[in-house]
Structure 1
Amino acid sequence: MIFVTVGTHEQPFNRLLVAIDKYAETRNLPKDSIVVQKGYSDYEPQNTTSEKMYSLEQMEYFYEKADIIITHGGPGSMFPGWMLGKPIVAVPRQAKFKEHVDNHQVEFCEFMEKKKKVVCVKEISSLSNVLDNLINRFQTKNHESKTEAFIEKFEKELALIFEGKI
């Protein structure tokens, strides 16, 4: 399963939703194989399962069950996937598309890609190829719950970031 989250920022992120919807359609994927938290976007995906927002419990479940996580460029949406050892595809919101007020998400995604924490997709046209490559290399098999390990690793990662060590 692929889990897509655009976060809770109030500007739409239709560019990502259109691309993931087209991906599902062209790959003829079952509707429940891609779950989308679409936030304040006004595009309505036709080929995925989607809701504006999910509860915390639902979000945790989707992070846990996902083979791949696609997220906007916010660190809060990336951390759960990192802690679970999931491949993260980060599609940063960009000011030129009126998805955010500036390009801090682009800068953060580029930084985290250099640290090998995410695959940063700035050009939405490359998303399909990135996903196909990840699916071929990184599908999770028989995933077991790692909640305790997630919390411990999350706290350590945050400390390292705040200390400027990563």
Structure 2
Amino acid sequence: MDNKIFITLGSQKFQFNRLLKAVDELCEKGTVDAENVFAQIGYSDYLPKNFNYKKYLDRDEFSKEMGKADIVITHGGTGAIIGAVKKGKKVIAVPRLAKYGEHVDDHQLQLIKQFRELNLIYACEDMNLEKALSEVKNRKYNSYKSNTKAIIDSICEFVEGEK
């Protein structure tokens, strides 16, 4: 495993400078090979010094970068997490926190906790990315199983029962 890392910070109007700085520091120390890191940084105003990035990616670019990655580091958004686990990526989810101006509240802590309890991701609440990267490389996670079919079946049964 080359351990290619894709960082996705979403497209909401919140910065996540703290995460970008932490990855930059790991690249500076040589803990992470900067050549193997690419980030979609969104509204963050911190510009990484040691790895490649782009503010926004279109759908094709996003899919391409995600496809190349072994590990996805993301904020605690449901869409970002599910998108990565559906593709079989090892996911490190770091919650955006209100006290740093990264979101309006701390709901991402709860979302990440639920994904962790399902053994789908590594929950990195403490921003210790060095530990997170070490753990995620050697850990086996559950595969994501969508419940869309069960929901549709349930709706169909309900509608059929109404006739």
Q: Same fold (TM over 0.5)?
A: yes
**1:117 lines up with 2:120 in the alignment:** yes
Equivalent residue number for residue 82 of structure 2: 79
Identity of aligned residues (%): 33
C-alpha separation in 1, matches of 2:50 and 2:94: 19
Specify the code of the residue in structure 2 equivalent to 1:127. Answer: L
Superposed CA offset, 1:38-87 (max 9, x none):
11001010111101011110110111110100000001111221111111
Superposed CA offset, 1:99-132 (max 9, x none):
00011111100111011111111111x1111112
Relative to structure 1, the CA distance from residue 55 to residue 114 in structure 2 (aligned partners, 3 Å threshold; closer, same or farther) is same
Report if aligned partners of 1:63, 1:80 keep a CA contact under 8 Å in 2.
no
Equivalent residue number for residue 92 of structure 2: 89
Relative to structure 1, the CA distance from residue 117 to residue 98 in structure 2 (aligned partners, 3 Å threshold; closer, same or farther) is same
TM-score w.r.t. the length of structure 2 is 0.81
Equivalent residue number for residue 148 of structure 2: 159
Equivalent residue number for residue 70 of structure 2: 67
Count of residues in correspondence between the two structures: 147
Counterpart mapping for 1:30-109 below 5 A? 30-109=33-112
Equivalent residue number for residue 129 of structure 1: 131
Of 36-45 and 74-83, the range deviating more from structure 2: 74-83
Relative to structure 1, the CA distance from residue 99 to residue 82 in structure 2 (aligned partners, 3 Å threshold; closer, same or farther) is same
C-alpha separation in 1, matches of 2:74 and 2:100: 17
The structure with more radius of gyration: 2
- Which blocks of at least 5 consecutive residues in structure 2 are unaligned? 153-163
C-alpha separation in 2, matches of 1:91 and 1:160: 29
C-alpha separation in 2, matches of 1:160 and 1:115: 19
TM-score w.r.t. the length of structure 1 is 0.80
**1:19 lines up with 2:22 in the alignment:** yes
C-alpha separation in 1, matches of 2:71 and 2:150: 23
Point out 4+ residue stretches in structure 1 off by more than 4 angstroms: 160-163
Relative to structure 1, the CA distance from residue 14 to residue 161 in structure 2 (aligned partners, 3 Å threshold; closer, same or farther) is farther
C-alpha separation in 1, matches of 2:48 and 2:84: 23
SS of 2:146's partner is helix
Superposed CA offset, 1:111-158 (max 9, x none):
11011111111111x1111112333x26xxxxxxxxxxxxxx98x615
- Which blocks of at least 5 consecutive residues in structure 1 are unaligned? 139-152
CA shift for structure 1 position 29: 4.7
RMSD over aligned CA atoms reads 2.4
